[in-house]
Chain A
Amino acid sequence: MIVDSYRFLPRSFRPFYEGRGPFPGEESPVWAPFEKRLSASRIALLTSAGVYMKESQPTFDLEREDANPEWGDPTWRVIPATARPEDFAFAHLHINPEDMLADPEIALPMRGLAELIDEAVVGGSVADHVAVMGYQDRGLEDWRRKTAPEIVAHLREQGADALILAPA
């Protein structure tokens, strides 16, 4: 089956995504080989669903986005692998969070990953996964300049061998 990339997208949005080619300056391939066995690797997860820990972290700034619709909060949060589903909140104005609240695994499969670790399919998990809010300004300047380098530093510090990213 070849996935229809626009099946759930309102038709009028399609031109914003389709046929636009590579991001400026990002034309050439990038590649980091996956060199270890999966069973000896430490895996990190990243979701763009705007997840945050509702007791201990600030929400993503939706008020500013409301005032300036072309802007999206470029900050990021660490999500402890030990967090429980009831610890999460979702800040994302472009999707209905109901299903994610009912079962956060559909955005951030931390328990699924823990099972694979128990079964020794995967070596381990980072202690702290990563969350961003996926709606960003078109130029991605803050992500490029600040967020991406910070996430890279975090992943290195956590000893991550690889990352699974899930756009919301």
Chain B
Amino acid sequence: MKERLFRDILPRVEKPARYTGSEVNMIKKDWDSKSAKMVMAFPDVYEIGMSHIGCKILYGLVNETTNHLMERSFAPWPDMEALLRQEEIPLYSLESFTPLAKFDVVGFSLQYELSITNVLNMLELGGIPLCSAQRSDTDPLVIAGGPVAFNPEPFADFFDAFLLGDGEEVTVEFLDCVETNRHLEKAALLQELAQIEGVYIPALYEVSYHADGTIKSFAPSAEGIPLRVRKRLVRDLDLAYYPSQPVVPYLGIVHDRAVLEVMRGCQRACRFCHAGMVYRPVRERSVEVLARQAEEQLKNTGYDEISLASLSTLDYSGVEILVKQLVEEYGRQGIGVSLPSLRVDAFSIELANEVQKVRKTTLTLAPEAGTQRLRDVINKNVTEEDLLVAAEAVFKSGWMGLKLYFMIGLPTESEEDLQGILELLKKVKSIGSRYSRRAIEIRASLACFVPKAHTPFQWQPQAGISSLEEKRHFMLKQKMKNVKLSFHDSRTSYLEGVMARGDRKLGEVIHRAWRMGCKFDGWSEYFSFTTWREAFAECGIDPDFYVRERSRDEIFPWDFIDIGVDKDYLWEENERAFQRILTPDCRQDGCVSCGVCPQFEFEPFSGEGA
């Protein structure tokens, strides 16, 4: 098959190197001598999937430390897909060119709600029945993990199992169980798998609904199946596996650099933030371990840049020491350090300066909202003064541009808040103009707020498409020179919101939308909202149902998933938002009683840290 691909197929597609494998550090294990065989399937193109740290971790973990085997597969771009279909070539893994259907386990990484149509597409191209119920003992188990899996219900029809929480904790246990119970029929195997903490088997649960469509009950349909599924958690990042020789792609990918994960979780308590809630509590890696990992990774990959990744890298307690150490050590060789996100304060900018001794990248700050009132509502503990001081530090240091992130459609938002964004941009620009004779460029990215499961705003309505469009027009009316506003697509965000708080009934709609041609929905050139609308209509499902405001006592489709944070805490945070009461950073000011530390037997922060 490989020969045929190289000779007849790949010369006809755009970016053939997406489909060839054989990259530096690829691990190709002997197929026949290995236990469980899994393919990590990423429902987006190679350049995106290969940029994802979680997949790199699991790939190394399974291949380097166990007797199982893990290969990789990515969503083929539509040109390649057309050729695969036309030439009847099944979607294959990049290591051994094995069709997906031949693996024991096909595991999808769900990073984005709208990648689900690509999951269906890849299953079909791989020769695997789409729904869990249609798959027999001889078909692979189809599983998923990643942040989207914290509300797995809209996708329940398609997966045999979801793995919740930190993958390095649960994946190997899952594969061990698959291998040990290889002789069992699928139904019995699923029962066994359900015993593993962090594994959710949708087929083993039943849902009933009230007349208004909300959930009446959600419970296991068999004996011995847990009522709630608790996520898995890495307790000590220093002891956790981290790849020292990740695959180095041949073609340029989105994050084409070595990556260190300095910490997991975030303690800032922004009320809109999904990752901030589901990845609690904060766990840090020590500077010593990170320095060693940097050395190994750079030696084994030859990258010229190393990025310090986490949800909020500037909050990592060792960030200053680590950055200085890395710059000192590798700067001479032309190897740069990069910080993916900056906090809105002068310290961040000073550190960014340190980093820029080697290479200049764009600086990005995220005030999220335009007025103090609204920033208090969302608990973004940043003042206008912080922002202006940070901006001043940026331009003083010679940067010619700045990128700012905001959201529109936040709870309680009014015209004043939108105007506030514009005023803020004006102020930032005027600071820049004082320091530079050339024109400086301000870019603002405006995302549409999407209420997510497991966050304090899970009860809140999502702003409708027409209201978001009005907001956009309002803001675009006031043109400013050298200030560029870019808005996320409101219809894409709407659909994302439907999925984010959706239930099992959406499976039918997703299936239909995919049948009608939907795929690559996260890519504006392929997204067809009209088709999705038709799919909803044909299934008799009103998508507005999922973006509505919800009452306190409603049973949510994701309530049975235990992320460790109490629902009462989330509700209280929701209430506090409307009273404009701030919730402090628990690492700075002590425990805020979200519940996660006692739940996982961690020592809560006393408030003396960081």
| A and B co-occur in one complex | no
List residues of B whose CB falls within 8 A of some A CB.
none
